[in-house]
């Protein structure tokens, strides 16, 4: 009997090997909202993404399951809703909350793929699954910023080497002070880095991927490469030339009415705007322009780096045999609703760009309005690679939609959650409506008439029936989302 099983396994793996697998390239950005031209945002220039979208299918309604890096990544890398992954903050680790979950790269590695990761894919080095998931993995740092080099020269002239034991503490403080405006997390740094593209983490990330592709790093195996692009996460640092593309006085944005928050539950707010130096209900035109310029510069910068990655596929003639998905871990507020940063369930906070190129399947320049969740990535890649996906996955393969961009899809709502103290806030969206449930109230937006979600209709009497429907949908979704815990 045992022999028979072994033979069977052998036969199966043999037949699998006989079926050539497509390569997979998964490009995931950090904190990138839908300010890219394929998502319909035109003020900034993303020629690489525009060209890529012209050869691919763009999903206009794709959403993260949790608008913070750690939980979102744990969710889509394992194909689980946050309530099932058990990761609902940046500290938790799925290896503890849900041991033995087979992550997406681990699944592909197990199935004969050469898997590689660069940059930020798993949330942090501490969350890195390492060799279990990857054949190769690496993270880079930015080269020293010119402001730091200048400070070092000055420091060494005064105090001697920064390496000197006695100088260490003072140099640390001096260095921090020198780069704080550019490089801090709080308040978020921003500005011209003074570095060249290749000296930035993302310059290195992209070049590393291109290098793997050009040098056949995967050998005879098909590859699964995850390219973790790290901008536009704060600090909003980019080479000078990308800032020059966006003169401050040409930046366009729309201010909100001061009483916006009177009708929206206050727990929908994330207070990060304070760290950026803003006040709720008050516009700060100068500061907003500076941050917008920096965020947009970062996007144009990463757009230029991604070109290196995509071009390398073409140069190696691998374009027709490589499936590419481009997306982000969640969205980002840039003053919308007076908010800054992530951790909200508004569309700007939860919606992501989502572009798929599956040669021979997706039609060039096609778009889909179907509801997509990032947990759909894992089963989609699995089906495209003709592999049976693990049973724990909660997403749905997008393959039927890739073949039919004109279809609405079977998924009626996209679902996201976010922590608020001991509780969770919830959002459900379909093509017409967005419903939010918070510890202290509800939201309902008519996305057709109010795509920016500025008029909360949850208290309107003519919406009682709709609210009832959404409450019922949410109750069912909550059970479903937690069902694989």
Partner 1 sequence: MNQQGMFAEQTLLIRKINSMKIDLPSVSHALITRFLGVLLIFNATISISQGDHAEKPNIILIMTDDQSWDSLGFMGGNVHTPRLDQMAKDGLYLTDFNVTSTVCSPSRYSFLTGRFAGRCQGKKFLEEHPPGDQTQVENIGELEPDLWNLPKVLQKNGYKTGFVGKSHVIRHDWLAHGGKDAVIKSAEIQTYPKTADPRDPEVNSKMQANHQKWCDEIKKYGFDWADGVYGANLKELLNDSLNVHNLDWTVSKAFNFLEESKDEPFFLYFSTTLHHGPAPWANKFSLEADPRMTGEGFVEDGFDVMPSREDVLRRNRAAGFQDRAAYALWLDDGVGALLDKVRNLGLDENTLIIFVPDHGSYRTAKATLYDYGMRVPMLLKWTGKIKPGSEYNGLVSNIDVAPTILDICGIKPPEDYSMDGISFKPAVFGDKKPLRQVLFGELGHSRSVKTKNWKYIAVRYPEKVKKQLDAGKTFKGFEGEILERPYLTRNSHLGHGAAKHNPHYFTTDQLFDLKTDPEENENVFSKKPKIAERMKKELSDALSKFDDRPFGEFVK
The answer to whether residue 471 forms part of the interface with partner 1 (CB under 8 A) is no
Please report which residue ranges of 25-141 form alpha helices under DSSP H. Answer: 47-54, 69-78, 82-85, 94-97, 104-110
User: Using CA of residue 428, residue 391, residue 408, residue 31, what is the dihedral sign?
Assistant: positive
Among residues 158, 279, 285, 406, which is the contact residue for partner 1, using CB under 8 A?
Answer: 406
Supply the DSSP symbol for 72: H
Q: Is residue 27 within a helix (H) or strand (E), and if so which, with residue range?
A: strand 23-29
Beta-bridge partner residues of 198: none
Work out how close the CB of 369 gets to partner 1 at its nearest, in angstroms, rounded to a whole number.
4
Q: Is residue 465 within a helix (H) or strand (E), and if so which, with residue range?
A: helix 464-481
Work out how close the CB of 410 gets to partner 1 at its nearest, in angstroms, rounded to a whole number.
6
- Of 7 and 42, the one with the shorter C-beta distance to partner 1 is 42
The answer to whether residue 38 forms part of the interface with partner 1 (CB under 8 A) is no
Please report which residue ranges of 163-271 form alpha helices under DSSP H. Answer: 168-183, 201-214, 240-244
Number of neighbours of residue 406 by Cβ within 10 angstroms: 11
Work out how close the CB of 374 gets to partner 1 at its nearest, in angstroms, rounded to a whole number.
20
- Of 60 and 321, the one with the shorter C-beta distance to partner 1 is 60
Among residues 167, 245, 369, 446, which is the contact residue for partner 1, using CB under 8 A?
Answer: 369
Measured distance CA(112)–CA(305) in Å, rounded: 29
Segment contacting partner 1 by CB under 8 A, of 66-74, 204-212, 284-292, 398-406: 398-406
Segment contacting partner 1 by CB under 8 A, of 125-133, 160-168, 327-335, 404-412: 404-412
Work out how close the CB of 400 gets to partner 1 at its nearest, in angstroms, rounded to a whole number.
8
Among residues 7, 91, 410, 440, which is the contact residue for partner 1, using CB under 8 A?
Answer: 410
- Of 142 and 430, the one with the shorter C-beta distance to partner 1 is 430
Measured distance CA(434)–CA(448) in Å, rounded: 10
Among residues 118, 304, 370, 372, which is the contact residue for partner 1, using CB under 8 A?
Answer: 370
Segment contacting partner 1 by CB under 8 A, of 150-158, 339-347, 407-415, 433-441: 407-415
Measured distance CA(406)–CA(102) in Å, rounded: 33
Burial class (CB in 10 A: 0-12, 13-18, 19+), 262: exposed
**Please, which of residues 349-368 interact with partner 1 by CB under 8 A?**
368
Among residues 142, 263, 408, 419, which is the contact residue for partner 1, using CB under 8 A?
Answer: 408
Number of H helices, E strands in the chain: 16, 17
Number of neighbours of residue 210 by Cβ within 10 angstroms: 21
* 369 CB-side CA count, 13 A: 8
Among residues 403, 459, 468, 485, which is the contact residue for partner 1, using CB under 8 A?
Answer: 403
Among residues 404, 420, 454, 466, which is the contact residue for partner 1, using CB under 8 A?
Answer: 404
The answer to whether residue 409 forms part of the interface with partner 1 (CB under 8 A) is yes
Contact residues: partner 1, CB under 8 A: 368-370, 400, 403-410, 431
């Amino acid at each position: 009997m045992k022999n028979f099983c072994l033979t069977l396994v052998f036969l199966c793996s043999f037949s699998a090997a006989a079926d050539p697998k497509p390569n997979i390239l998964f490009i995931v950005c950090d904190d990138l909202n839908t300010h890219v031209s394929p998502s319909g945002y035109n003020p900034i220039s993303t020629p690489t993404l525009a060209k890529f979208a012209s050869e691919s299918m763009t999903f206009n309604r794709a959403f993260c399951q949790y608008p913070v890096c750690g939980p979102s990544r744990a969710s889509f890398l394992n194909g689980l809703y946050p309530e099932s992954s058990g990761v609902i903050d940046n500290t938790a680790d799925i290896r503890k909350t849900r041991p033995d979950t087979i992550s997406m790269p681990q699944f592909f590695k197990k199935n004969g793929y050469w898997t590689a990761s660069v940059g930020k894919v798993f949330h942090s080095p501490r969350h890195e699954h390492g060799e279990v998931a990857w054949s190769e993995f690496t993270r880079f740092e930015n080269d020293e910023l010119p402001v730091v080099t200048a400070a070092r020269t000055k420091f060494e002239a005064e105090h001697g080497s920064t390496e000197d034991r006695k100088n260490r503490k003072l140099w640390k403080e001096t260095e921090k002070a020198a780069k704080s405006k550019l490089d801090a997390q709080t308040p978020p740094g921003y500005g011209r880095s003074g570095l060249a593209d290749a000296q930035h983490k993302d310059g290195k990330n992209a070049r590393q991927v291109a290098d793997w592709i050009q040098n056949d790093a995967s050998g005879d195996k098909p590859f699964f490469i995850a390219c973790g692009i790290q901008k536009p996460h704060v600090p909003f640092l980019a080479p000078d030339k990308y800032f020059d593309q966006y003169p401050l006085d040409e930046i366009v944005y729309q201010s909100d009415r001061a009483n916006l928050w009177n009708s929206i539950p206050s727990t929908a707010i994330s207070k990060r705007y304070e760290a950026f130096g803003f006040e709720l209900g008050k516009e700060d035109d100068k500061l907003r322009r500076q941050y917008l310029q920096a965020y947009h510069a970062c996007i144009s910068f990463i757009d230029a780096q991604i070109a290196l990655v995509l071009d390398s596929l073409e140069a190696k003639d691998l374009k027709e045999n490589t499936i590419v998905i481009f997306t982000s871990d969640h969205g980002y507020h840039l003053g919308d609703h007076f908010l800054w940063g992530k951790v909200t369930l508004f569309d700007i906070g939860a919606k992501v760009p989502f572009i798929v190129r599956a040669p021979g399947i997706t039609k060039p320049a096609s778009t889909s309005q179907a509801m997509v969740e990032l947990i759909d990535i894992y089963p989609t890649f699995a089906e495209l690679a003709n592999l049976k996906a693990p049973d724990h996955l909660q997403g749905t393969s997008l393959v039927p939609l890739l073949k039919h961009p004109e279809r609405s899809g079977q998924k009626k709502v996209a679902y996201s959650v976010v922590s608020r103290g001991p509780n969770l806030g919830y959002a459900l969206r379909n093509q017409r409506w967005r419903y939010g449930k918070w510890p202290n109230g509800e939201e309902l937006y008519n996305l057709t008439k109010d795509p920016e979600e500025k008029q909360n209709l949850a208290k309107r009497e003519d919406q009682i029936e709709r609210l009832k429907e959404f409450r019922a949908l949410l109750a069912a979704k909550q059970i479903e989302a937690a069902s694989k815990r």
